[in-house]
Amino acid sequence: MHGVVPAEIGSLGKSEFEALKAQAVASRTYALKKLGGNNRGKDSRGFDIRSDIYDQTYHGRRENSEWAIRAVNATKGEVITFNNNVIECYFHSTCGGRTESGHNVFTNVQFPYLQGIADDFGKRDFCEDSPHYRWVEKINASELISSLREFGRQNNNNHPLAPGLFELRVSERFPSGRAKSVIIVDGKNNTIALEPNSIRPLFQNENRSLRSSLFRVGQPIDRGGNREIVLIGAGFGHGVGMCQWGAIGMSRKGYSYDQMLRHYYRETELKKIY
Protein backbone atom coordinates (compact mmCIF):
# COMPACT_ATOMS: atom_id res chain seq x y z
CA MET A 1 0.00 0.00 0.00
CA HIS A 2 2.92 2.38 0.70
CA GLY A 3 3.91 2.01 -2.96
CA VAL A 4 0.39 1.96 -4.37
CA VAL A 5 -1.23 5.02 -2.79
CA PRO A 6 1.23 7.71 -4.02
CA ALA A 7 1.38 6.06 -7.47
CA GLU A 8 -2.41 6.08 -7.71
CA ILE A 9 -3.29 9.53 -6.42
CA GLY A 10 0.04 11.41 -6.34
CA SER A 11 2.51 12.49 -3.70
CA LEU A 12 0.17 14.86 -1.93
CA GLY A 13 0.55 16.94 1.21
CA LYS A 14 -1.16 17.79 4.46
CA SER A 15 -4.20 19.51 2.96
CA GLU A 16 -4.97 16.34 0.97
CA PHE A 17 -4.30 13.94 3.85
CA GLU A 18 -7.94 12.85 4.03
CA ALA A 19 -7.90 12.06 0.28
CA LEU A 20 -4.78 9.96 0.81
CA LYS A 21 -6.57 8.07 3.58
CA ALA A 22 -9.59 7.50 1.31
CA GLN A 23 -7.27 6.19 -1.42
CA ALA A 24 -5.50 3.92 1.08
CA VAL A 25 -8.80 2.34 2.17
CA ALA A 26 -10.04 2.06 -1.44
CA SER A 27 -6.78 0.47 -2.65
CA ARG A 28 -6.71 -1.98 0.26
CA THR A 29 -10.33 -2.94 -0.41
CA TYR A 30 -9.68 -3.41 -4.13
CA ALA A 31 -6.62 -5.57 -3.46
CA LEU A 32 -8.38 -7.80 -0.95
CA LYS A 33 -11.31 -8.33 -3.31
CA LYS A 34 -8.94 -9.25 -6.12
CA LEU A 35 -6.94 -11.83 -4.18
CA GLY A 36 -6.93 -14.92 -6.34
CA GLY A 37 -8.56 -13.05 -9.20
CA ASN A 38 -5.81 -13.84 -11.71
CA ASN A 39 -4.72 -16.99 -10.00
CA ARG A 40 -7.57 -19.47 -10.24
CA GLY A 41 -8.25 -22.58 -12.27
CA LYS A 42 -6.60 -23.60 -15.51
CA ASP A 43 -6.21 -20.00 -16.68
CA SER A 44 -4.10 -19.12 -13.63
CA ARG A 45 -1.46 -16.56 -14.40
CA GLY A 46 0.49 -17.10 -11.21
CA PHE A 47 -0.26 -13.76 -9.59
CA ASP A 48 -3.15 -11.93 -7.94
CA ILE A 49 -2.95 -8.32 -9.06
CA ARG A 50 -1.32 -6.43 -11.90
CA SER A 51 0.90 -3.48 -11.00
CA ASP A 52 -0.49 -1.15 -13.66
CA ILE A 53 -3.73 0.63 -14.53
CA TYR A 54 -5.48 -2.66 -15.25
CA ASP A 55 -5.50 -3.21 -11.48
CA GLN A 56 -3.51 -0.77 -9.33
CA THR A 57 -0.37 1.16 -10.19
CA TYR A 58 2.63 0.30 -8.02
CA HIS A 59 5.88 2.25 -8.14
CA GLY A 60 7.52 1.19 -4.89
CA ARG A 61 8.30 3.68 -2.17
CA ARG A 62 8.99 7.24 -3.22
CA GLU A 63 11.16 9.73 -1.38
CA ASN A 64 8.35 12.26 -1.10
CA SER A 65 5.50 9.98 -0.09
CA GLU A 66 5.60 10.78 3.64
CA TRP A 67 1.92 11.71 3.87
CA ALA A 68 0.86 8.66 1.84
CA ILE A 69 2.69 6.36 4.25
CA ARG A 70 1.03 8.13 7.19
CA ALA A 71 -2.36 7.67 5.50
CA VAL A 72 -1.82 3.93 5.02
CA ASN A 73 -0.73 3.53 8.63
CA ALA A 74 -3.60 5.66 9.98
CA THR A 75 -6.17 3.46 8.23
CA LYS A 76 -4.52 0.12 8.90
CA GLY A 77 -6.91 -2.79 8.38
CA GLU A 78 -9.86 -0.61 7.26
CA VAL A 79 -11.89 -1.78 4.27
CA ILE A 80 -15.22 -0.84 2.66
CA THR A 81 -18.04 -3.33 3.07
CA PHE A 82 -21.60 -3.79 1.86
CA ASN A 83 -23.75 -6.34 3.72
CA ASN A 84 -20.57 -7.44 5.55
CA ASN A 85 -18.79 -8.27 2.28
CA VAL A 86 -15.75 -6.46 0.91
CA ILE A 87 -16.91 -4.44 -2.10
CA GLU A 88 -15.70 -4.29 -5.70
CA CYS A 89 -13.88 -1.02 -5.17
CA TYR A 90 -13.48 0.74 -8.50
CA PHE A 91 -12.01 4.22 -8.73
CA HIS A 92 -10.80 6.57 -11.46
CA SER A 93 -8.97 9.84 -12.00
CA THR A 94 -11.63 12.48 -12.73
CA CYS A 95 -15.39 12.12 -13.12
CA GLY A 96 -15.93 15.58 -14.63
CA GLY A 97 -18.97 16.22 -12.43
CA ARG A 98 -20.95 12.97 -12.70
CA THR A 99 -19.85 9.45 -11.78
CA GLU A 100 -21.26 6.48 -13.68
CA SER A 101 -23.33 3.55 -12.43
CA GLY A 102 -21.22 0.39 -12.25
CA HIS A 103 -23.56 -1.72 -14.34
CA ASN A 104 -23.34 0.74 -17.26
CA VAL A 105 -19.59 0.11 -17.58
CA PHE A 106 -19.02 -3.35 -16.13
CA THR A 107 -22.15 -4.81 -17.64
CA ASN A 108 -21.97 -8.31 -16.18
CA VAL A 109 -22.73 -7.42 -12.55
CA GLN A 110 -25.14 -5.05 -10.80
CA PHE A 111 -23.28 -3.12 -8.09
CA PRO A 112 -25.82 -1.55 -5.70
CA TYR A 113 -23.14 0.56 -4.01
CA LEU A 114 -21.75 1.92 -7.28
CA GLN A 115 -24.53 4.34 -8.13
CA GLY A 116 -23.91 7.25 -10.44
CA ILE A 117 -23.90 10.48 -8.43
CA ALA A 118 -23.35 14.18 -8.98
CA ASP A 119 -19.92 15.11 -7.61
CA ASP A 120 -21.27 18.33 -6.22
CA PHE A 121 -22.67 19.37 -2.83
CA GLY A 122 -24.18 22.64 -4.00
CA LYS A 123 -21.13 24.71 -4.90
CA ARG A 124 -18.91 23.56 -7.76
CA ASP A 125 -17.78 20.07 -8.72
CA PHE A 126 -15.24 18.63 -6.32
CA CYS A 127 -12.92 17.56 -9.15
CA GLU A 128 -12.67 20.91 -10.91
CA ASP A 129 -8.96 21.30 -10.01
CA SER A 130 -8.13 18.27 -12.16
CA PRO A 131 -6.21 18.94 -15.41
CA HIS A 132 -8.73 16.62 -17.06
CA TYR A 133 -11.85 18.33 -15.71
CA ARG A 134 -12.63 19.78 -19.17
CA TRP A 135 -10.75 18.96 -22.35
CA VAL A 136 -10.80 19.17 -26.13
CA GLU A 137 -9.47 16.40 -28.40
CA LYS A 138 -9.01 16.65 -32.16
CA ILE A 139 -9.01 13.35 -34.03
CA ASN A 140 -8.01 12.94 -37.65
CA ALA A 141 -11.03 11.56 -39.54
CA SER A 142 -9.06 9.23 -41.82
CA GLU A 143 -7.22 7.78 -38.80
CA LEU A 144 -10.55 7.17 -37.13
CA ILE A 145 -11.80 5.28 -40.19
CA SER A 146 -8.62 3.16 -40.13
CA SER A 147 -9.11 2.40 -36.44
CA LEU A 148 -12.69 1.34 -37.09
CA ARG A 149 -11.65 -0.99 -39.91
CA GLU A 150 -8.92 -2.54 -37.76
CA PHE A 151 -11.41 -2.96 -34.93
CA GLY A 152 -13.81 -4.64 -37.36
CA ARG A 153 -11.11 -7.04 -38.55
CA GLN A 154 -10.15 -8.00 -35.00
CA ASN A 155 -13.78 -8.70 -34.18
CA ASN A 156 -14.51 -10.60 -37.42
CA ASN A 157 -16.93 -7.91 -38.41
CA ASN A 158 -15.67 -5.78 -41.26
CA HIS A 159 -17.17 -2.37 -40.88
CA PRO A 160 -18.40 -1.24 -44.32
CA LEU A 161 -16.89 2.20 -44.02
CA ALA A 162 -15.72 4.07 -47.09
CA PRO A 163 -13.20 6.91 -46.98
CA GLY A 164 -14.47 10.42 -47.27
CA LEU A 165 -16.57 12.84 -45.30
CA PHE A 166 -18.80 11.36 -42.69
CA GLU A 167 -21.06 12.27 -39.83
CA LEU A 168 -20.49 11.41 -36.20
CA ARG A 169 -22.98 11.88 -33.39
CA VAL A 170 -23.85 10.58 -29.96
CA SER A 171 -27.20 8.87 -30.44
CA GLU A 172 -27.89 7.81 -26.86
CA ARG A 173 -26.55 8.76 -23.45
CA PHE A 174 -26.56 7.30 -19.95
CA PRO A 175 -28.14 9.52 -17.28
CA SER A 176 -24.67 10.76 -16.31
CA GLY A 177 -24.29 12.17 -19.84
CA ARG A 178 -21.71 9.58 -20.93
CA ALA A 179 -22.13 8.26 -24.45
CA LYS A 180 -24.07 5.01 -24.63
CA SER A 181 -24.09 4.73 -28.40
CA VAL A 182 -22.24 6.63 -31.12
CA ILE A 183 -23.37 6.64 -34.76
CA ILE A 184 -20.85 7.03 -37.59
CA VAL A 185 -21.93 7.59 -41.20
CA ASP A 186 -19.37 7.43 -44.01
CA GLY A 187 -19.26 9.19 -47.40
CA LYS A 188 -21.49 6.51 -48.96
CA ASN A 189 -24.12 6.65 -46.22
CA ASN A 190 -23.02 3.41 -44.59
CA THR A 191 -23.80 3.56 -40.87
CA ILE A 192 -22.37 1.78 -37.85
CA ALA A 193 -23.21 2.14 -34.17
CA LEU A 194 -20.54 1.80 -31.49
CA GLU A 195 -21.29 0.14 -28.16
CA PRO A 196 -20.30 1.87 -24.87
CA ASN A 197 -17.15 -0.17 -24.18
CA SER A 198 -15.70 0.32 -27.67
CA ILE A 199 -16.08 4.11 -27.77
CA ARG A 200 -13.02 5.13 -25.72
CA PRO A 201 -10.53 2.68 -27.31
CA LEU A 202 -11.69 3.54 -30.84
CA PHE A 203 -11.42 7.29 -30.40
CA GLN A 204 -7.83 7.04 -29.34
CA ASN A 205 -5.47 9.88 -30.05
CA GLU A 206 -1.68 9.63 -30.02
CA ASN A 207 -1.95 5.98 -28.96
CA ARG A 208 -4.03 6.57 -25.87
CA SER A 209 -7.73 5.98 -25.33
CA LEU A 210 -10.13 8.87 -25.24
CA ARG A 211 -10.03 10.30 -21.74
CA SER A 212 -13.72 9.79 -21.07
CA SER A 213 -16.97 8.94 -22.82
CA LEU A 214 -18.51 12.09 -21.32
CA PHE A 215 -18.20 14.32 -24.38
CA ARG A 216 -20.06 16.13 -27.10
CA VAL A 217 -19.09 16.48 -30.75
CA GLY A 218 -18.01 19.99 -31.71
CA GLN A 219 -17.76 21.64 -35.12
CA PRO A 220 -15.35 19.64 -37.33
CA ILE A 221 -12.32 21.42 -38.77
CA ASP A 222 -11.54 21.00 -42.48
CA ARG A 223 -7.90 21.49 -43.39
CA GLY A 224 -7.20 21.04 -47.09
CA GLY A 225 -9.52 18.08 -47.51
CA ASN A 226 -8.36 16.55 -44.25
CA ARG A 227 -11.11 16.62 -41.65
CA GLU A 228 -10.51 16.77 -37.92
CA ILE A 229 -13.22 15.66 -35.51
CA VAL A 230 -13.46 17.88 -32.42
CA LEU A 231 -14.61 16.32 -29.16
CA ILE A 232 -15.29 18.52 -26.14
CA GLY A 233 -15.32 16.46 -23.00
CA ALA A 234 -15.03 16.11 -19.26
CA GLY A 235 -13.16 13.76 -16.95
CA PHE A 236 -10.64 10.96 -17.25
CA GLY A 237 -11.35 7.26 -16.74
CA HIS A 238 -14.37 4.96 -16.63
CA GLY A 239 -16.18 7.16 -14.12
CA VAL A 240 -17.23 4.38 -11.70
CA GLY A 241 -16.72 4.69 -7.96
CA MET A 242 -14.39 7.16 -6.28
CA CYS A 243 -13.20 10.14 -8.30
CA GLN A 244 -9.61 10.66 -7.12
CA TRP A 245 -9.52 14.36 -8.01
CA GLY A 246 -12.93 14.70 -6.40
CA ALA A 247 -11.50 13.22 -3.21
CA ILE A 248 -8.65 15.74 -3.39
CA GLY A 249 -11.20 18.55 -3.77
CA MET A 250 -13.26 17.24 -0.83
CA SER A 251 -10.15 17.00 1.30
CA ARG A 252 -9.21 20.61 0.55
CA LYS A 253 -12.72 21.64 1.56
CA GLY A 254 -12.66 19.89 4.92
CA TYR A 255 -14.44 16.57 4.35
CA SER A 256 -13.13 13.49 6.12
CA TYR A 257 -12.05 10.28 4.41
CA ASP A 258 -15.04 8.31 5.67
CA GLN A 259 -17.38 11.03 4.31
CA MET A 260 -15.65 10.79 0.93
CA LEU A 261 -15.99 7.02 0.84
CA ARG A 262 -19.69 7.16 1.82
CA HIS A 263 -20.22 9.77 -0.91
CA TYR A 264 -18.69 7.66 -3.69
CA TYR A 265 -19.73 4.20 -2.41
CA ARG A 266 -23.29 4.73 -1.22
CA GLU A 267 -24.79 2.64 1.58
CA THR A 268 -21.47 1.06 2.50
CA GLU A 269 -19.70 0.76 5.86
CA LEU A 270 -16.07 1.03 6.91
CA LYS A 271 -14.78 -1.94 8.90
CA LYS A 272 -11.44 -2.60 10.54
CA ILE A 273 -10.65 -6.25 9.82
CA TYR A 274 -7.10 -6.47 11.18
The contact set with other proteins (CB under 8 A) reads 10-16, 64, 96-98, 115-124, 128-129, 131, 133-138, 170-177, 180, 214-216, 230, 232-234, 248, 251-256, 259, 262-263, 266
Q: Smallest gap, in angstroms, from Cβ of residue 51 to other proteins? A: 20
Please, what is the minimum distance in Å from the beta carbon of residue 227 to other proteins?
Answer: 16
Cα 166 from Cα 258, distance rounded (Å)? 49
Task: State the Cα angle at 246 between 240 and 248, rounded to 5°.
Answer: 135
Return the number of the residue (88 or 128) whose C-beta is nearest other proteins. Answer: 128
Which residue, 90 or 133, has its beta carbon nearer to other proteins?
133
Minimum CB separation of residue 190 from other proteins in Å reads 21
Q: For residues 10 and 152, which CB has a smaller minimum distance to other proteins in the complex?
A: 10
Least distance from other proteins to the Cβ atom of residue 242, Å: 14
HSE at residue 28, side-chain half, CA atoms within 13 A, is 25
Residue pair 170/186 in contact by the 8 Å Cβ criterion = no
The distance of closest approach from Cβ of residue 67 to other proteins in the complex, given in angstroms and rounded to an integer, is 9
- Among residues 25 and 250, whose Cβ is nearest to other proteins? 250
Q: Which is nearer to other proteins, 216 or 227 (CB)?
A: 216
C-alpha 63: how far from chain center:
27
